[in-house]
A and B are shown apart, each in its own frame.
Chain A
Amino acid sequence: DIVMTQSPDSLAVSLGERATINCKARHSVLYTSNNKNYLAWYQQKPGQPPKLLIYWASTRESGVPDRFSGSGSGTDFTLTISSLQAEDVAVYYCHQYYTVPWTFGQGTKVEIK
C-alpha cells in the first residue's frame, strides 16, 4: 500500500496569511508514461462530503478559488493557501489514486490564529 503522510496534523494561521500543507507518499505516484502525478487534494468541512480542490497534483478544480494551489511530483507534494480566509477552516486530505488500494493522508486541520 502507498502510505500517505501529511504534515503538520494541524496548523493555525492568521487571516490573510499563507498556509502550507505537505504530503509525502511512500512510493512515487508519478505515472511516467503520461507524466501525471495521481495525487488529489480535498477540503472537508464538518458534516459535509469532501470537496475536490486539486487533481493531477496541480490542476485546480473548476470553481476553486485561485488562492489554492498544488505543487510537487513523485513522492512530495504541497497544498498552499496563499491568503487564508475564514471559510477555509476545514480538514484537508491528500489522496493518491495511482494504484489500489487508493489511500489518503491522515488529514490536516486548518484553523484561524
Chain B
Amino acid sequence: EVELVESGGGLVKPGRSLRLSCTASGFTLGDYLMSWFRQAPGKGLEWVGFIRSKGYGETTEYAASVKGRFTISRDDSKTIAYLEMDSLTTEDTAVYFCAREGYRSGWYSAYWGQGTLVAVSS
C-alpha cells in the first residue's frame, strides 16, 4: 500500500530555513515523479515543484514563487523526499503536501500525504 507521511513543519521566523521530509512506503521512490504542493490557510491548492523519476534524470521544476529559494531532493536509500526551504517569508505559510504520480510516467498526482503545517511569523 502506498503511504506518504510529511514531517518537519512548524513555526519559523522570516528569513530562516526549514526542511520538510516526505517518508514513502509501499513503492520504490526513485521510480516515480514526486511533487510538493501547498495550501495557504483558507486558500486553494498551489503547486510548489517536483522531482522527476530516475528514468527522467531526476531533474526538478519549481513554481516561480519558490524558484531559487526551495530545493527538492530525495534519498532513495532512506525512501525520503525532501523540500528544503530557504529565505522563508510570511507568504510561505501553508500546509505542505507531498504527492506521488499515479503510475510511472503518469504525471498526475494520485497519492497524497496528510500534509504538514509551516507557519512563518516573527
Residues of A within 8 A of B (CB): 38, 40, 42, 44, 48-52, 55-56, 61, 93, 95, 97, 100-107
Of the A-B pairs whose beta carbons lie under 8 Å apart in the complex, a sample of 12, sorted by A's number, is A48-B114, A52-B112, A55-B102, A55-B110, A56-B108, A61-B102, A95-B45, A97-B109, A101-B47, A102-B47, A104-B45, A104-B46
Chain B residues with CB under 8 A of A48:
114
Task: Tell me whether A104 and B115 are in contact (CB under 8 A).
Answer: no
Q: B61 within 8 Å of A by Cβ?
A: yes
Q: B97 within 8 Å of A by Cβ?
A: yes
Residues of B within 8 A of A (CB): 35, 37, 44-47, 50, 61, 63-64, 97, 102, 106-110, 112-115
Beyond contacts A50-B37, A55-B106, A103-B47: 17 other A-B pairs, Cβ-Cβ < 8 A, are A40-B109, A44-B45, A49-B113, A49-B115, A50-B97, A51-B112, A52-B102, A55-B110, A56-B108, A61-B110, A93-B45, A97-B109, A100-B61, A101-B61, A104-B46, A104-B47, A107-B44
Chain B residues with CB under 8 A of A56:
108
Task: Tell me whether B64 and A50 are in contact (CB under 8 A).
Answer: no
A49 in complex: contacting residue of B35, B97, B102, CB < 8 Å: B97
Task: Tell me whether A97 and B112 are in contact (CB under 8 A).
Answer: no
Task: Tell me whether B47 and A49 are in contact (CB under 8 A).
Answer: no
Task: Tell me whether A93 and B44 are in contact (CB under 8 A).
Answer: yes
Chain A residues with CB under 8 A of B102:
52, 55, 61
Given A49-B115, A55-B102, the answer on whether A101 and B64 have CB atoms closer than 8 Å is yes
**Considering the chains assembled together, what is the distance between the CA atoms of A91 and B37 in angstroms?**
16
Chain B residues with CB under 8 A of A104:
44-47
Given A38-B107, A55-B106, A100-B61, the answer on whether A50 and B112 have CB atoms closer than 8 Å is yes
